[in-house]
């Protein structure tokens, strides 16, 4: 992604920061997605471990309660994250150039970022995350499933959500730097379209299907990588 495109993405999120939480996570789809992401993060990033954790593209701080440090390129989004999490250290920077020293974090995670970026930028972020992680540190990320999109014939017309990957693609990105430890699927069935009571009833079924043999047919995949 060229610098002018990066600037366009930052400007976009600066403009929508004021109603981002309500517009993206105040509806049935957003609430369901938020709950499923938290279910997985609760497992991967339990509290009170003493770990130093960095959330990249923390936005307004929706998931920053799992972190000790938050980073975002949008100053407007960061302002809201700081209000929500006054005990977290925040930095305004690009994801591929964080400015942190080498090997200072036990875990780095990012959600709803890589799907907006070109492959070359994703590769640069992987290199930067590897640099700031301690040996044995973990990188947790999400990405739309390439297999799901191909089966549905989905084509994204713009940069927003325009990138999807397969597990094979993620392994290629790992190279010699990371080992893929495990993955989780999110949103196998259109549960968010059902009435609230049915969503609660079928949520467990959806999670089971999203994490069974057909995992890559889920809408999103969450990966836990370990730095070699």
Residue 194 predicted with pLDDT over 90: no
Q: CB of 41 within 8 A of CB of 109?
A: yes
pTM of the predicted model as reported, rounded to 2 decimal places: 0.90
Collect all residues with Cβ–Cβ distance below 8 Å to 117 and sequence separation of at least 6: 1, 125, 159, 163
More confident residue, 73 or 202: 73
Residue pair 91/98 in contact by the 8 Å Cβ criterion? yes
Which one has a higher pLDDT value, 103 or 157? Answer: 103
Residue 7's domain comprises 3-227
- How many domains are there within the chain? 1
Q: What's the pLDDT tens digit per position in 36-64?
A: 999 999 999 998 889 999 999 999 999 99
* Nearest 10 degrees: Cα torsion 92, 95, 97, 100: 70
Residue in the structure block whose two tokens are 């305004």: 92
Burial class of 47 by CB neighbour count within 10 A (0 to 12, 13 to 18, 19+): exposed
Find the CATH number of the domain harbouring 8. 3.40.50.150
Residue 99 pLDDT more than 70? Answer: yes
Confidence of residue 4 (pLDDT cuts 50, 70, 90): very low
For residue 87, pLDDT over 60 is answered with yes
Handedness of CA 176, 223, 63, 145 (dihedral sign): positive
Q: Give the C-alpha separation, 69 to 50, whole Å.
A: 13
3-state helix, strand, coil in the chain (%, to 5): 45, 20, 30
């Amino acid at each position: 992604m060229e610098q002018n495109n990066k600037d366009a993405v930052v400007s976009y999120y600066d403009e929508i920061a004021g109603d981002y939480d309500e517009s993206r996570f105040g509806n049935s789809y957003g609430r369901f997605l938020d709950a499923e992401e938290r279910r997985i993060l609760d497992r991967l990033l339990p509290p009170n471990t003493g770990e130093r954790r960095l959330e990249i593209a923390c936005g307004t701080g929706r998931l920053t309660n799992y972190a000790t440090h938050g980073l975002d390129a949008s100053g407007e989004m960061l302002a809201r994250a700081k209000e929500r999490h006054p005990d977290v250290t925040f930095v305004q920077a690009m994801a591929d150039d964080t400015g942190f020293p080498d090997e200072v974090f036990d875990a780095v995670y990012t959600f709803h970022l890589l799907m907006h970026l070109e492959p070359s930028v994703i590769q640069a972020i992987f290199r930067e995350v590897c640099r700031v992680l301690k040996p044995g540190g973990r990188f947790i990320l999400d990405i739309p499933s390439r297999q799901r999109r191909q089966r549905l014939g989905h084509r994204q017309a713009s940069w927003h959500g325009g990138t999807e990957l397969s597990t094979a693609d993620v392994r290629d990105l790992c190279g010699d730097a990371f080992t893929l430890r495990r993955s989780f699927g999110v949103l196998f069935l259109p549960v968010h379209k059902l009435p609230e009571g049915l969503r609660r009833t079928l949520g467990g079924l959806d999670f089971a299907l999203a994490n069974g043999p057909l995992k890559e047919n889920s809408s999103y995949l969450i990966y836990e990588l370990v730095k070699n």
